[in-house]
Structure 1
Amino acid sequence: MSDKNKLAFQKINYMIMLVGVVVLILGFFIMTLDTEPYGFGFLGLTLGPLTVLLGFAIEFVAILYRSKENK
């Protein structure tokens, strides 16, 4: 297969991206569960944003990940 027809991402990249999107959605959902006014509780200020940050980190890894057979 020539380099011209080669795709940038493999199936594993898309699987990791899907996990990242699920973690992002989970993080935003966690932020909505906060019962404090204006979301100033633990869920809205700590756990939710950390989960969203983890989701973005997973997306970053998914973009940069290269399988051993593609190196």
Structure 2
Amino acid sequence: MAVYDTNRTAPESAILFGRIGAAICTVISAVSVWNDARITRNALSALSDRELEDIGLNRGEIDLIAHRKGSF
């Protein structure tokens, strides 16, 4: 019975593809956050001033709320 043992590290191509994959994931995440903010902004913009007042907002706060949605 023969045994083959090696201590090689990952090939450079695997490291490169890992970095490319990480970059793609970062871009997808950024697009997802932007889209969530867009949907929130559109939904709040469709409300009347009275409805916004009922939930404690005004038109000037819509962008702030849309961008901070995930941090509450």
- Pick 1 or 2: higher relative contact order, CA cutoff 8 A, min separation 6: 1
Task: Report the TM-score when normalising by structure 1.
Answer: 0.45
Greater Rg by CA: 2
Task: Report the TM-score when normalising by structure 2.
Answer: 0.45
